[in-house]
Chain A
């Protein structure tokens, strides 16, 4: 190839040969380091985790013998495990539609002429890009029952400020987590949908208007179908992210009161790093992996990923 045409340089034979090798196997050499990282620290741990889940390693005993479905059988009777899934689905099921609707409404609003639009949009990015723990800290402070502004602001509309224990009252931990999650990711949905709406051909919208379509019809029949692929991608990104919700709950309620707001990621953390139930954690973790794999497969089937 072209390598041969190059003027020979004053280098040792070995060096020349290794250079030739690097050139001939160019595409593989390029890929190799990244591949190694992903294999050793991405895929190998998942396999190791699976192996562990079929053993019986606990805090007391390192029993590495094959122990069949022991840990998986235990899952069936673990109310805390099923509860954690329930909590995760509950938060996802409520927070996701709310942030979608709010994000879409915001996008539709900012599609119009708003003076100072660019500055507003730039500022609205903030909740989405800051560390989730900082976001969680903000709301932990906002929700404080003694000196937090949330209860105080509610007091503006009622006769006196209520004494709501947002992060410890069983009736209010879900609203608290959902408010934090919606606040943090509505801007995310908004930004992505605004970009999609901006790309709609103006001519199509004008034509619809000339044909006498109402604002709602225009939105329902022209804009929504046009941004459908982007909308699907946004839903999937948010769904995957919500199903592994960890940092917000950790920052706000730590799964409490009791295990009332414990998500599956938080339960995995407690099992693995506080109760040291090694093999059982492996089984719980593997269920999450299996679930996410199914989601990924459905996603690919729908070709919602990129191209």
Chain B
């Protein structure tokens, strides 16, 4: 009896130690983000105080009010528009292509590898000729240019992810739909898409987050009109910058939605982060 109680007590002690260690690790990893977010609620004196102000004395909303100036809010809106439209397009075209690859082995493995090679090119390297191409068409600093680029970069990702998800759907379901008189297209829309629903949502979330966070293409392809929020943040990086409060406020808007979307996709985290290379 006593040995059971002893073992239980030791287990409880180990759990407590592990809990404290996990808490410490998490605090270390979250502190920099906490620090940036907190500047949003601080007064300028608190932001620039030495020693640092760990908690603002009271919550200052002034930084959020200032977001309406200089296009900060506009840049977040631009990011939402560009990421949303490019994600919808990439999902539509990518899933169609993935279905073709998964069911008909179109182009064999070579085609899938060529697709992924487009995503392997360093963004700045691809951005340079793309910039020249779009500049000659007068399309620099337009929604169209960035949307087209993000569709292209997300396509290989969507194709690889969705190919995996579609391969998991039993073929018999489509076959019976075809026998029941559905056309190929109807089978795709009425059987395959609904069956791949969770995969579609998970892939779309990761594609959206990529486009929403992206910086290298955005800094090259935007000037004034369609500046996205990561680019806008870097515009505020000046020596002796007084904009830290606003950078903090923009970061809150730019991070929290992304964070909760990813957390909701918990089950597909490994598959999503590894670009479909690992199934988790």
- B99 interfacial by beta-carbon distance below 8 Å: yes
Q: Give per-residue flags for B31-49: 1 if the beta carbon is below 8 A from chain A beta carbons, else 0.
A: 0110110010000000111
Query: Bound state CA distance, A174 and B52, in angstroms?
Result: 24
Given contacts A27-B100, A110-B22, A132-B215, contact A272 B29 (CB under 8 A): no
Query: What DSSP secondary structure best describes chain A's contact surface?
Result: helix
Q: Is A70 an interface residue (CB 8 A)?
A: no
B93 adjacent to chain A (CB < 8 Å) = yes
Q: Which of B2-10, B65-73, B230-238 contacts A (4 or more CB under 8 A)?
A: B230-238
Say yes or no: B52 contacts A131, CB within 8 Å.
no
* Contact partners of A281 in chain B: CB under 8 A: 128
- Whether B118 lies near A43 (C-beta < 8 A) is yes
Report whether A23 and B234 are in contact in the complex, using a CB–CB cutoff of 8 Å.
no
Residue of B nearest to A41 (CB): B152
Please tell me if A52 contacts chain B, counting CB pairs below 8 Å.
Answer: yes
Tell me the bound Cα distance from A152 to B122 in angstroms: 37
Contact B15 A251 (CB under 8 A): no
The reply to whether B148 and A127 contact each other, CB–CB distance below 8 Å, is no
Identify B26's interface contact among A44, A120, A129, CB under 8 A: A120
Option from A23, A42, A116, A268 in Cβ contact (under 8 Å) with B185: A23
> Closest residue to A51 on the B side, CB-wise?
B129
Distance between A220 CB and nearest chain B CB, rounded to angstroms = 22
| Interface: B258 (CB within 8 A) | yes
Q: What residue in chain A is nearest B149 (Cβ atoms)?
A: A41
Asked whether, in the complex, the Cβ of B216 is within 8 Å of the Cβ of A289, the reply is no
Across-interface contacts of B113 in A (CB, < 8 A):
300, 305
Listed stretches A75-83, A90-98, A133-141, A204-212; interface member: A133-141
Give B233 Cβ to nearest chain A Cβ, in Å.
Answer: 5
**Which residues of chain A from 38 to 55 have a CB within 8 Å of any chain B CB?**
38, 41-46, 48-49, 52
Please, which residues of chain A bring their CB within 8 A of the CB of B36? Answer: 134, 137-138, 141
CB-defined interface of B96-131 with A at 8 Å, one 1/0 digit per residue?
Answer: 110111011011000001111110111111101111
- Docked-complex contact A133 and B234, CB < 8 angstroms: yes
A112 to B100, CA, bound (A): 42
Assess whether B213 is in contact with A278, with CB atoms less than 8 Å apart. Answer: no
Question: Is B209 at the interface (CB under 8 A from chain A)?
Answer: yes
The answer to the question of B138 belonging to the interface, with a C-beta cut-off of 8 Å to chain A, is no
Say yes or no: is A191 at the interface (Cβ < 8 Å to chain B). yes
Evaluate whether A126 and B29 lie within 8 angstroms (CB atoms) in the complex, with A31-B107, A306-B277 already known. Answer: yes
How far apart sit A31 and B155, CA to CA, in the bound complex (Å)?
Answer: 11
Which one of B93, B100, B120, B280 contacts A37 once the chains associate, using CB atoms below 8 Å? B93
Inter-chain contacts of A3 with B (CB < 8 A): 183
Which residues of the partner chain A approach B185 to less than 8 Å between Cβ atoms? 22-23, 26
Q: Does B204 contact A (CB under 8 A)?
A: no
Q: Which of B19, B126, B280 contacts A45 (CB 8 A)?
A: B126
Does chain B have a CB within 8 A of A59?
Answer: no
B97 touches A34 (CB 8 A): yes
> In the bound complex, do residue A131 and residue B212 qualify as a contact, i.e. CB atoms below 8 Å apart?
yes
Q: Chain B residues near A187: list those with CB within 8 A.
A: 29
- Contact bitstring A226-255, B, C-beta under 8 A = 1, else 0: 000010011001001001101100110000
Which chain A residues lie closer than 8 Å to B131 at the CB level?
272-273
B277: chain A residues at CB < 8 Å are 233, 237, 305-306
A106 at the binding interface (Cβ < 8 Å): yes
- Given A34-B96, A306-B160; A278-B132 close (CB under 8 Å): yes
A267-302 CB contact bits vs B (8 Å, 1 = yes)? 011001100001001100100110011011000100
Contacts A34-B97, A114-B18; A131 near B274 (Cβ below 8 A) = no
Checking B33, B220, B258, B270 against A195 with a beta-carbon cut-off of 8 angstroms, the contacting residue is: B270
Contacts of B231 in A (CB 8 A): 133
Contacts of B30 in A (CB 8 A): 123, 126-127
B280 touches A195 (CB 8 A): yes
With A31-B106, A112-B18, A115-B19 known as contacts, the answer to whether A149 contacts B35 (CB < 8 A) is yes
Bound-state CA distance A28–B36 (Å) is 49
The interface residues of chain A lying within 8 Å CB-to-CB of B25 are 106, 109, 120, 124
- Residue B196 at the A interface, CB < 8 A? no
A247 to B125, CA, bound (A): 14
The answer on a CB contact under 8 Å between A265 and B33 is: no
Q: Which residue of B lies closest to A199 (CB)?
A: B280
In the complex, whether B278 has a CB less than 8 A from a CB of chain A is: yes
4 additional contacts (CB under 8 A) given A19-B183, A233-B274 = A34-B97, A138-B251, A146-B50, A147-B47
Residues of A within 8 A of B (CB): 2-3, 5-7, 19, 22-23, 26-28, 30-31, 33-35, 37-38, 41-46, 48-49, 52, 106, 109-110, 112-117, 120, 122-135, 137-142, 146-149, 152, 161, 183, 186-188, 191-192, 195-196, 230, 233-234, 237, 240, 243-244, 246-247, 250-251, 264-266, 268-269, 272-273, 278, 281-282, 285, 288-289, 292-293, 295-296, 300, 305-306
Q: What are 21 sample pairs from A and B whose C-beta atoms fall under 8 A apart?
A: A27-B104, A31-B100, A33-B93, A38-B156, A41-B130, A48-B132, A106-B25, A131-B212, A131-B213, A131-B255, A133-B215, A141-B247, A152-B51, A191-B269, A192-B273, A244-B123, A246-B124, A247-B230, A268-B124, A289-B121, A306-B160
5 shortest A-B CB distances, which residue pairs? A244-B122, A42-B118, A131-B213, A133-B230, A34-B97
